[in-house]
Amino acid sequence: MKKTVLITGGSRGIGLAIAYELAKAGCNLAINGRRPKEEIMDVIEELSNRGSEIIYCQGDVSSSEDRARIIDSTLKTFGRLNVLVNNAGVGPEKRSDLLETSEESFGRVMDINLKGPFFLTQKVAQHMIAHSFENFGSRDCIINISSISATVASINRGEYCLSKAGLSMMTKLFASRLGEYNIPVYEVRPGIIETDMTAEVLEKYQKLTEEGLNIQTRLGKPEDVGISVAALVDGKFPYSTGQVVMVDGGLTIPRL
């Protein structure tokens, strides 16, 4: 039977690359994003062409009503949810020094990057537990897309770093709670990946990469993350719950 995967923020960037890999692997996909469906028809069409049954669940992961609606429409269509990929995330609208970070920006980033994934995971975990008797062959898992910012301090976007550090602990918490149901929870931690999120600072990161920031001498591509997530979904790490999969080209290895 095909696995059903819900990918938040699956309409572009890293989430879309994950969707492409999972479509290739024959999964049913529920793709979430904020934009109206009409704006991402090309994406839906391309994913469908790859043989995937796909629905688009428009909604804001920071809203409780939207989260409930996203899960409801996924279950209504597919009847079952095997994998949740908490990928949707944002940086601050304006990067500002730690001494000037506003409460509004702090709240917005935390709500989308941490509160949303936490409560979405809670709901999905309840569904998975209710169906755990049929989790033959360990088909279910939860994957959180964090960031090297979970451990690397950027003082001009502290709220983003805090949200990702929180997501990292969230992985360990849910891994601990769901172990008895044979539901692994993983954290995938990308480095600098070329997407809309990094477009504004790409030149700076490109230069730093040329100067040796990453051990692998290039910036990351969304598909680098997509391939790693597909391996997790395919059950290639069955005894590694709570672990971090680094996809950072060696950026975070301390060097002398």
Site string for ligand NAP, 175-214 (x = CB under 6 A): ---------------x-xx-xxxx----------------
Q: Is 160 a catalytic residue?
A: yes
User: How many Cα atoms occupy the beta-carbon half-sphere of 187 within 13 Å?
Assistant: 24
Residue span binding ligand NAP (CB under 6 A) among the ranges 3-11, 95-103, 120-128, 135-143: 3-11
User: Mask of contacts with ligand NAP, 35-54, x by CB under 6 A?
Assistant: x-------------------
Order across the sheet with 28-33: list the strands: 54-58, 28-33, 4-7, 83-86, 141-145, 185-190, 244-247
Q: What is the largest CA-CA distance in the chain?
A: 54
List of residues 6+ apart from 152 with CB closer than 8 A: 161, 251, 252
245 is a contact residue toward ligand NAP (CB under 6 A): no
| Contact pick of 105, 147, 168, 241 for ligand NAP (by CB under 6 A) | 147
Q: What residues contact 112, with CB distance under 8 A and at least 6 apart?
A: 60, 61, 62, 88, 89, 90, 163
If the CB atoms of residues 61 and 142 are measured against ligand NAP, the closer one turns out to be 61
Under the criterion CB under 6 A, does residue 34 sit at the interface with ligand NAP?
yes
Q: Of the ranges 30-38, 134-142, 177-185, 231-239, which one interacts with ligand NAP (CB under 6 A)? A: 30-38
173 — phi, psi (to 5°)?
-65, -50
Least distance CB 116 / ligand NAP (angstroms) = 7
Of the candidate residues 4, 5, 13, 157, the single one contacting ligand NAP (CB under 6 A): 13
Task: Please give the Cα distance from 128 to 80 (Å, whole number).
Answer: 9
Instruction: Show the binding pattern over residues 72-111: x = contacts ligand NAP (CB under 6 A), - = does not.
Output: ---------------xxxx---------------------
* Active-site annotation, residues: 160
Q: Which residues bind ligand NAP (CB under 6 A)?
A: 8-9, 11-15, 32-35, 60-62, 87-90, 112, 145, 147, 190, 192-193, 195-198
